[in-house]
Amino acid sequence: VKIVALCGGVGGSKLITGLHLEFPDDTLAVIVNTADDVILHGLNISPDLDTVMYTLAGSSNPNTGWGLEGDTFHGLEMMRTYGHDAWFKIGDRDMVTHLLRTAQLAAGGTLTSVTADLAQRLGVGRTILPMTNDRVVTRVRTRGGWLDFQDYFVRRGHTDRPLAVEHVGAAQASPTPQVLDAIAEAGIIVAAPSNPVVSIGPILTIPRMLDAIRDAPAPTVAVSPIIGSRSVTGPADALMQAVGFEPTVAGLAEMYKPWLDTLVVDSRDINRAGEIESLGLISKATDTLMPDVAAKRRLARFVVEAAR
């Protein structure tokens, strides 16, 4: 089976690990959000692409989910010595990824080709596809005005109440041919439990992406990152409210119903199954927390079987 997954960063990568380990003989292509990419210190940083890449390379930091295991931060200290406000945590080895990406993009490479090259060098045997080669930037409006996504998320630690979200450049962006081919040829399309507003949202906002998924013969299945009325981690709940959806699996079903067949929710939300099914979706409940590899594999198997 050809598994195609839509993914953001740390949360989604937990399920990607499960799919990777549980289905070694199937193809796996991951379409990754790039709307929280940022240029800092002259470096092109793609946080979600790198999280997926390090995860599939088996070298991600198990404590944080982002960055490289055992990385050091001397480079950031040097940035501070030079008087730079180094609020975005970049490890020393991680910095080399950004350096090479920046150099290869400057030499005319596309984000798709650069990502493929970096991933292959790291020994990744799976396909990692940026959603687009064009520049898309998520911004969050707060009481103080519009903030670039990493400013809101990392620098200010998502402490501001989000009031609105936009993806600047999305309307002019195109999905890559590689992304469109993967979707058309997919045997199953899985939306990982990534942030619906700022990880899965930007992917679907790109013109033609939604139609490509709707036109694809593959069944679609999503895992909820929301349990009860809270995100498992991070500000997905507040961001869903900011864009007009209830931060529950019912709200998520409302948000995803234009393209989704099956929603996998946590067992604690089994009482919302009726609402989900009244929207025309199939609801499947299981334990959706992924604290360890066994849980990631078990959920990955459940998701693929739920879609069939």
Q: Do residues 250 and 227 touch, judged by C-beta distance below 8 A?
A: no
Q: Tell me the C-alpha distance between 281 and 276, whole Å.
A: 6
Nearer CB in complex with Ca ion: 179/188: 179
Question: Measured from the CB of residue 290, what is the shortest distance to ligand GDP in angstroms?
Answer: 4
Strands (E), 116-259: 127-130, 137-142, 145-148, 164-168, 188-191, 220-223, 226-227, 230-231
Interface residue with ligand GDP, options 8, 175, 202, 247 (CB under 6 A): 8
Question: Measured from the CB of residue 10, what is the shortest distance to ligand GDP in angstroms?
Answer: 3
Nearest by Cα to 72 from 104, 95, 103: 95
Under the binding rule (CB under 6 A), the answer on residue 195 touching ligand GDP is: yes
Residues whose CB falls within 8 Å of the CB of residue 208, separated by 6 or more in sequence, listed in order: 174, 175, 180
* Residues at the interface with Ca ion (CB under 5 A): 8-9, 36, 48
Alpha carbon 233 to chain centroid distance? 14
Under the binding rule (CB under 6 A), the answer on residue 11 touching ligand GDP is: yes
**What backbone phi and psi angles, to 5 degrees, belong to 263?**
-110, 125
- Span from 115-123, 137-145, 233-241, 251-259 in contact with ligand GDP (CB under 6 A): 233-241
- Span from 80-88, 121-129, 250-258, 286-294 in contact with ligand GDP (CB under 6 A): 286-294
- Span from 56-64, 130-138, 229-237, 275-283 in contact with ligand GDP (CB under 6 A): 229-237
Under the binding rule (CB under 6 A), the answer on residue 306 touching ligand GDP is: no
Beta bridge partners, 127, equal 29
Question: Measured from the CB of residue 81, what is the shortest distance to ligand GDP in angstroms?
Answer: 29
How many positions of this chain bind ligand GDP (CB under 6 A)? 22
